[in-house]
């Protein structure tokens, strides 16, 4: 499971669809609908919030918005109704780690997309996040 700190605009088609599915699973986990994945590291930053289901619904809404802009039909009815106001803090180190990780994936999976992203030096975060100084988060499985 990967809930990207990066803006979904950087993902290739496979990555965007994968993110949608994984974030829907995360929504189920955070809402207590499923028993698995409760302690998955990618969910820690959401589960520590006052209203985790609203946070993941806000996250999903932005993913769906990107999908709609690309002409995909992601079902808005699958997203929880409650939303959070404001932004979640995330570290610059985490954002840049994920940027390197995504580029490694794209280099083998979608070379055209990889080349399009090469000029980007400072990637934008997912709209839910406000980037603050800091290192890669301790819940990240660094390779």
pLDDT tens, position by position, 3-49: 999 999 999 999 999 999 999 999 999 999 987 788 788 898 999 99
**Of the candidates 67, 136, 60, which has an alpha carbon nearest to the alpha carbon of residue 99?**
136
Span 88-99, pLDDT tens digits: 999 999 999 999
Rg (CA), the chain: 15
Structural domain boundaries, residue 88: 8-132
Is residue 1 over pLDDT 80?
A: no
DSSP letter assigned to residue 20: H
In a domain, 118, yes or no: yes
Tokens in use for 66?
């990107």
**Number of domains into which the chain is organized:** 1
In a domain, 141, yes or no: no
Three-state DSSP class for 28?
helix
Span 37-89, pLDDT tens digits: 887 888 989 999 999 999 999 999 999 999 999 999 999 999 999 999 999 99
Distance between terminal CA atoms of the chain?
15
Helix 13-30 and helix 52-69, axial crossing angle in degrees, nearest 10: 160
In a domain, 57, yes or no: yes
pLDDT recorded at residue 38: 80
Span 102-115, pLDDT tens digits: 999 999 999 999 99
């Amino acid at each position: 499971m990967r809930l990207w700190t990066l803006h979904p605009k950087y993902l290739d088609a496979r990555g965007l669809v994968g993110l949608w599915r994984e974030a829907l699973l995360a929504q189920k986990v955070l809402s207590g609908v499923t028993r698995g994945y409760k302690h998955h590291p990618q969910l820690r930053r959401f589960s520590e919030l006052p209203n985790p289901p609203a946070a993941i619904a806000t996250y999903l809404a932005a993913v769906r918005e990107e999908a709609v802009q690309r002409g995909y039909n992601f079902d808005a009815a699958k997203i929880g109704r409650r939303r959070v106001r404001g932004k979640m803090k995330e570290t610059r180190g985490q954002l840049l780690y994920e940027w390197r990780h995504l580029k490694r994936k794209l280099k083998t999976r979608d070379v055209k997309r990889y080349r399009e992203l090469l000029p980007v030096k400072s990637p934008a975060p997912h709209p839910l996040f406000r980037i603050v100084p800091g290192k890669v988060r301790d819940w990240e499985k660094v390779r």
